[in-house]
Structure 1
């Protein structure tokens, strides 16, 4: 059985280089594209891409519709299928312009990877996200233990994420020098910090509460005065793993290294929310929490622009469209409130009419 096609491997390498250098995609996105293309290749028994025919696109769509998730055993979601098909559509569209392929593949051939209009609407529909309230996150923070160095660090991570709305991968890469407690700010310097799109910007602490800021301040003081960390050391160092007294490998304190990725931070959040008796909320969901708070507190367009900019968004529209969707429960409250306001306005109108009629009658009697 074939495991690869040499010619395909060469053109894929060129395509991935195109995605990296021309489209400026990050490694994780390129990996996802590679996985989708590999899945199609395997289904097509590693045929030469130059022999692509629209019937292959039709057949692969039917194949995906019958596939099941390896972990859950359920059919693949419409969103997963949509994502894979759009990835293949982009790849074939690019192939159509390459030497050796352009005479055999047309740009229109890529359109045959489009799912049905109904499936596309289902896949791209906006649905309520599980967003923790500010009160719930505060409850988690102050329920977390803070005895050992590791526990202090974990509590400070949740507090810092709420104060700044920083993405988890950025949180894993901050250094002490990036935090200015006096200015209540964090400098997200893309030279050191793994920010999204490698953007550099300053975030000021969101108005969450001085007690949450105190958690972060105490942690930084602990790092500097007790653990002797310097400005170039990690703000949230990785756990040091070594042999314990029981003769097994386990956590024995903190290292002076950064985490390689955000996996450990997500585990910290999961444990913290479960310990507080709340459903798991990932670190990114706290950005939604902050946007919901901003929608309530900001009174002018300028204030919301500043709030949006504080999250690292260049356009306010990004904050509104990606994070600002009103939850269904809140939507019900707003509409009900407007109904009550309308009823109050009607009553006020009735009262005004009655008062006007009374004044008119008194005028006639006079």
Structure 2
């Protein structure tokens, strides 16, 4: 699993150990699971001062359940812990429904993203890089951690594609795949092209140099630490990229949209643009999804406003004319694909 997922599981186990005063797991009893659940329900978020979110408590309990279930099969614990003991970490059915409920995401539109790009300055190399990062995220739908690790050799402007090579790029689940530029407008693609040419030309970057170099920090003329330009190093994580997005959206007067939300934007665009199941499958693969259902269920939710518009349109068209067989509706195609996928599984 991803390092962040491992860290979350480790944090959950550490939280339990702290509560139990580091009692030996060989002395585990189901009453400890009940006691920990009661204690966890009373905890508050240190930043907000409010009770822990249901999703937080749910993820911690699920991590502990998985750990105890695994422990029950290990030497030295088999006779002390049963597999059924892990079930005592289950949250209540109501809490589980609240924690796992799907809620509408705040997804930026293509127009909003282009507005952000138009407001971003391009005077310095750092400003050019920041603008190119936002444009590249929309153009490729790449995840922020992958973007932080791309090198120049991974982008092919002539082929209009990016090779997400897991040997070098920090892709999710370390999958290797090719992403072609999404049809989001020539203006967005031009920003990325100009940036790559700027790296290869005036800045003399080579194939193994980062596509989006980290900021070089050092002593400025004022004697304080600050940005001195671009380094030739990759970012170690995506924290800086998320800060760039936050600043860019705030400067444009729009609510913050994180880099990952652009993938939702592209998934929703695909539902409208793709006219055949094959086309949407290609769109899904371009996002790095092996199963088209992943795109539908995790990214393809119809926004509430759009849902109302579609239902109104259906109601207004009732009894007016028969639907044209030669003009298939993308929404209908999506439903058919989902139905067939469900039958296959």
TM-score w.r.t. the length of structure 2 is: 0.92
Kindly indicate whether the alpha-carbon contact (under 8 Å) linking 2:72 and 2:78 is maintained by their aligned counterparts in 1: yes
Match of 2:333 in 1: none
Shift of 1:345: 4.6
Counterpart CA distance in 2 for 1:177 and 1:69 is 44
SS at 1:187 equivalent: strand
Does the 8 Å CA contact 2:214/2:231 hold for their aligned counterparts?
A: yes
Q: State whether structure 2 residue 236 is matched by structure 1 residue 260.
A: yes
**For 1:219-275, what per-residue CA distance to the aligned partner results, in whole angstroms no more than 9, with x for missing partners?**
111111101111111100000001111110000100000000000000000000000
Instruction: Give the equivalent residue in structure 2 for 1:57.
Output: 33
Q: Distance in 2 between matches of 1:27 and 1:320?
A: 26
The CA deviation at 1:343 is 5.1
Counterparts of 2:4 and 2:39 in 1: how far apart (Å)? 25
- Residue 26 of structure 1 and its aligned partner are, at CA, apart by 2.5
Deviations 1:68-103 (A, max 9, x none): 100001101111010000000001001111111110
CA distance in 2, matches of 1:56, 1:325: 40
> Secondary structure at the residue paired with 2:178?
strand
Q: Does 1:236 align with 2:216?
A: no
Counterpart of 2:16 (choices 40, 60, 63) is 40
| RMSD of Structure 2 on Structure 1 (CA) | 1.0
**How far apart in 1 are the matches of 2:2 and 2:281?**
28
Q: Distance in 1 between matches of 2:193 and 2:3?
A: 34
Secondary structure of the corresponding residue to residue 242 of structure 1? strand
Question: 1:78 maps to which residue?
Answer: 54
Query: Residue 320 of structure 2: SS of its match in structure 1?
Result: helix
Q: Determine helix, strand or coil for the equivalent of 1:241.
A: strand
Matched, 1:270 2:240: no
CA contact (8 A) 2:27 2:80 kept: yes
SS in 2 for 1:158: helix
- C-alpha distance in 2 between matches for 1:179 and 1:85: 42
What residue number does 1:336 align with?
A: 312
User: In structure 2, which of residues 93, 97, 102 is the aligned counterpart of residue 117 of structure 1?
Assistant: 93
Moved over 6 A (4+): none
Measured against aligned partners, the alpha-carbon deviations of 1:282-318 in whole angstroms (never above 9, x if no partner) come to 0000000000100011110000000000001011011
- Determine if the alignment matches structure 1 residue 212 to structure 2 residue 188: yes
Unaligned runs of 5+ in 2: 323-345
TM-score normalised according to structure 1 size:
0.87
Distance 2:286 2:118 in 1: 25
Distance apart, 1:326 and its partner CA: 1.2
Count of residue pairs the alignment pairs up: 322
- CA displacement 1:316-359 (0-9 Å, x = unmatched): 0111111111111111111111111115359xxxxxxxxxxxxx
Q: Name which of 286, 292, 295 aligns with 2:262.
A: 286
